[in-house]
Structure 1
Amino acid sequence: MNNKNRILIVEDEDYIRKFIKINLERENFEVIEASSGEEALEKIRKINLDVAVLDVMLPGIDGFQVCKTLREKDDKTGIIMLTARGQDIDKINGLKSGADDYLVKPFNPLELILRIKAILRRMEKTKDISEIINYGIFKLDGYSKKIFKNNSEIEMTPTEYSIMELFINNPGKAFSRDDILNNVWGYDFVGDAKIVDVNIRRIRTKIEDDPAAPVYIETVWGVGYRFKKI
């Protein structure tokens, strides 16, 4: 039985893709390669993944579309976008498309490995929690890693689920962006704290009746966010 975590690398530059593959295989990951968005979508249809590493700039179908399609197929797969230096809009668009994290090129392969492992830890952490937590109209099922509102399931990415888990376990507590990064991402995040804001906006579109006037996830001005205490 193959117990290796399966990682998809989507990168059109052969030398970059091969370099990433070599480093990931040294960490005992099973690596699947794709050199285009079209090839990636074909492989996504056929195999299950743990994490996908997607270059934004691909010929034909770009990384954003691959990300959206993968999210539609499986909201549990971890997704890391590779963006160009200085292209902040790519980071935001990648997160809006459903990515969990991003990494700016050029990057150290060790940093990519650390981020992949951080996503896998979040996934494993939630698997280890089997209890069901009821909080008002929300229910968190730690065994299936699902969130329910009024008994209807809300589709969540691994990162979104971890943020909701943090909030529901600490209602009324104000968390700074750094607090959320440390608790959810699980490592010293090097990048823009907007990654927290984008994930909060995504969650609000899923759990709030009116995301423009949020009731459950409150903004604490000058601090960060808190989950409404019922």
Structure 2
Amino acid sequence: MAKIKILLAEDEPALGQIIKESLETRDFDVLLCENGEKAFEVFNNETPELLVLDVMMPKKDGFTLAKEIRTIDDHIPIIFLTAKSQTQDVVEGFSVGGNDYLKKPFSMEELIVRIHNLLGRTMLQKTAEIISLGDFQFNFPKQVLQYKNEPEVQLTHREAHLLFHLIKNKNQVLDRSLILNKLWGSDDFFNARSMDVFITKLRKKLSPDESIKIINVRGFGYKLIC
């Protein structure tokens, strides 16, 4: 499975490297930035799933960075790191869109627990609702599709996750290599052929609604059009 990507903004080189290496030993992919401006650039060019932001940074502080990111993404979890301990600083951190707050010094175990907690909460929020797709209702947690008032169609675990990612990237190309690594663990030839079979199965199950198409973008991946 693909590693969860974390954007870490920390201007103290030694501390930043310690956090990065500690998280990488827990199988996270960490993008380390030394200031807020660089972190904002990386955020726009990459697809992190969680942010760990130092509050006091050169060029752009963590609170300002969080405000800007919240205009683009309402849901990505944000953890602030700071040496500040005043109540008003904590309040400001939450008011600009932070989800959690760790005061320095802190233990890596505590940071990791808080990261897992926020990632779990975010996944529940993302998957709690039934997703509408044309005339279909897709219940991702239960892994079922329902067309209008017809009986529900049960999906396999992999079919459900593949459809979820197609819907998440609706009307955009879903990168073939990325999704193979995420769901199959490798983008080798045999897994690629396996994914082609799953795409064919999904096309058949979605065929009652002619407005839904899964097209093959040769050399790149698949696009769900609805």
The question of a shared fold, defined as TM-score above 0.5 by the shorter chain, is answered with yes
Within a 5 Å distance, the mapping from 1:95-110 to structure 2 comes to: 95-110=94-109
Distance in 1, Cα, partners of 2:14 & 2:44: 25
Output the amino acid matched with 1:86.
Answer: S
Larger radius of gyration: 2
SS at match of 2:60: coil
Within a 5 Å distance, the mapping from 1:154-169 to structure 2 comes to: none
Post-superposition shift, 1:89? 2.0
Identity percentage of aligned residues: 40
- Tell me the equivalent position of 2:93: 94
Output the amino acid matched with 1:16.
Answer: L
Distance in 1, Cα, partners of 2:126 & 2:72: 20
SS at match of 2:71: helix
After the TM superposition, which segments of 4 or more aligned residues of structure 1 sit over 6 Å from their partners?
Answer: none
Alpha-carbon contact 1:126-1:143 (below 8 Å) kept: no
Output the amino acid matched with 2:5.
Answer: R
Alpha-carbon contact 1:53-1:82 (below 8 Å) kept: yes
SS at match of 1:73: coil
Residue by residue, what CA displacement relative to the aligned partner does 1:185-225 show, whole Å, maximum 9, x if unpaired?
A: xxxxxxxxxxxxxxxxxxxxxxxxxxxxxxxxxxxxxxxxx
Output the amino acid matched with 1:47.
Answer: E
Distance in 2, Cα, partners of 1:117 & 1:143: 24
Output the amino acid matched with 1:80.
Answer: I
- TM-score, normalised with respect to structure 1: 0.55
Output the amino acid matched with 1:73.
Answer: I
Q: Which runs of 5+ in 2 are unaligned?
A: 132-137, 141-226
Residue by residue, what CA displacement relative to the aligned partner does 1:84-138 show, whole Å, maximum 9, x if unpaired?
A: 2423222111111001110010000110010000001001223442448xxxxxx
- TM-score, normalised with respect to structure 2: 0.56
Alpha-carbon contact 1:83-1:90 (below 8 Å) kept: no
Give the alignment's Cα RMSD to 1 decimal: 2.2
Output the amino acid matched with 2:123.
Answer: E
- Tell me the equivalent position of 2:36: 37
Distance in 2, Cα, partners of 1:101 & 1:64: 13
- Tell me the equivalent position of 1:227: none
SS at match of 2:48: coil
Aligned length in residues = 135
**Would you say 1:67 and 2:61 are equivalent positions?**
no
Within a 5 Å distance, the mapping from 1:191-202 to structure 2 comes to: none
- Tell me the equivalent position of 1:28: 27
SS at match of 2:27: coil
**Would you say 1:6 and 2:2 are equivalent positions?**
no
**Would you say 1:120 and 2:119 are equivalent positions?**
yes
Distance in 2, Cα, partners of 1:75 & 1:62: 19
SS at match of 1:40: helix
Distance in 2, Cα, partners of 1:41 & 1:80: 15
Alpha-carbon contact 1:56-1:90 (below 8 Å) kept: no
